[in-house]
Amino acid sequence: MKHHKNNLWILLSLFILCIVFFMLSIMMGAVDITFTEALEAFLKGENTPHLRILLHIRLPRTLVAMLVGSALALAGAILQGVMRNPLATPNIIGVSSGAGLSALTIMILFPSFFYLVPIGAFVGALLTTAMIYTLAWKRGIVPTRLILAGVAVNTVLGAGNNILLSTYPQRVGGVIHFLVGGLSGVGWKDVRMITPYILVSLFITLFFSQKMNILMLGDELATGLGLQVERVRRTLIVLSSLLAGSAVSAVGLLGFVGLIVPHMARLFVGNDHRWLFPTSIFLGSLTLMACDLIARMIFAPVEVPVGVIMSILGGPFFLFILRRQYRGHGHDRS
């Protein structure tokens, strides 16, 4: 009971921090707007410069950061659980690349069908995940084979991206932000585009938290407890693909959120997915809002793509996880 109470306090603290960073995100930038000025702009409803900045730039950008951060973090938590590998995240094993290739194909070859980008990204993410899962399967998931399969698939998909970019160089300018990963230029159309997919996926995934706990016990024991292992695994893979695909369609190939956040969440609440999933959602939103704020402020008024900030943080963290895994295997051999 004490453990549950502590976890509730952690969730409440993360929720409050999300509200704080939401307010900071809409007030801070190249033009700082105080809380009083923001409140006056909304209450008066006049077409002032402050109101235009808040309504058309910062508010949709912050909402997208919240949605994408939660989606990528939860997708990472799902994949790490389903594939039983702490490195199984959307960008590392190629899921984001699959979504990115599909989205780029629509954006470059069929720009008039821009509204299909989330669906195309989802299909690309789902097909990539299924391919990696199949290649890594040998009487169960083999972690080393999964990473190798992900790297191989990632390389092939990267070649596909390069073919598109080199074949249509005149259209590259419009997708540079997509390749780096960033929130610059997102607007209400992006909010409307991804909100239904992400919110529905988040809601459904929370109902699978207990089943994920059972799945983590191993296929034989989970089957003995009455869990339809393959059906649950496939459903969770579809949900993670939809989350990753929706996120990629809005902000591009943004990496490392799905790697860093689930590990941070485990430090707070442990491995129980009933707590891990909601903690990852709040922590993912908080992380991306904070990184976007850093990206806007560090060299203001020049803006750094948030994907660069995430890579700076994620690279060392990735090496840390690898080193810890290596030490763990070393202890196992001794």
Task: Using CA atoms of 92, 95, 96, 97 in order, give the dihedral in degrees to the nearest 10.
Answer: 90
User: Residue 333 pLDDT more than 50?
Assistant: no
pTM: 0.86
Percent of the chain topping pLDDT 90: 25
Of the pLDDT bands very low, low, confident and very high (cuts 50, 70, 90), residue 256 is confident
Report phi then psi at 163, rounded to 5.
-65, -45
What are the tokens at 217? Answer: 């016990």
What is the signed CA dihedral for 66, 123, 276, 284, rounded to 10 degrees?
-20
pLDDT tens digits, one per residue of 130-150:
888 788 777 665 666 777 888
pLDDT in tens, 146-182: 778 888 888 888 888 888 888 887 776 667 777 777 8
Highest mean pLDDT among 116-120, 216-220, 262-266, 304-308: 262-266
User: For tokens 């951060």, what's the residue?
Assistant: 69
Query: Using one digit for the tens of pLDDT, what is the confidence trace for 44-92?
Result: 777 788 888 888 889 999 999 999 999 999 999 998 888 777 777 787 7
Q: What is the mean pLDDT of residues 242-246?
A: 86
Q: Residue 69 has which token pair?
A: 């951060």
224 pLDDT more than 80: yes
pLDDT grade for 331, boundaries at 50, 70 and 90: very low
The domains located in the chain, with CATH, are 2-15+62-322 (1.10.3470.10)
Residue 141 backbone dihedrals phi, psi, to 5 degrees: -80, 125
Q: Is 219 helix (H, G, I), strand (E, B) or coil?
A: helix
Kindly report the backbone phi and psi dihedral angles of residue 113, in degrees, each rounded to the nearest multiple of 5, phi listed first.
-105, 40
User: Quick one: which of 216, 203, 217 has its CA closest to 278?
Assistant: 203
Burial class (CB in 10 A: 0-12, 13-18, 19+), 300: middle
Residue of 258, 231, 310, 248 lying closest to 93 (CA atoms) = 258
- Cis peptide bond upstream of 301, omega within 30: yes
Q: What is the pLDDT at residue 332?
A: 44
Give dist(CA 140, CA 61) in Å, integer.
Answer: 41
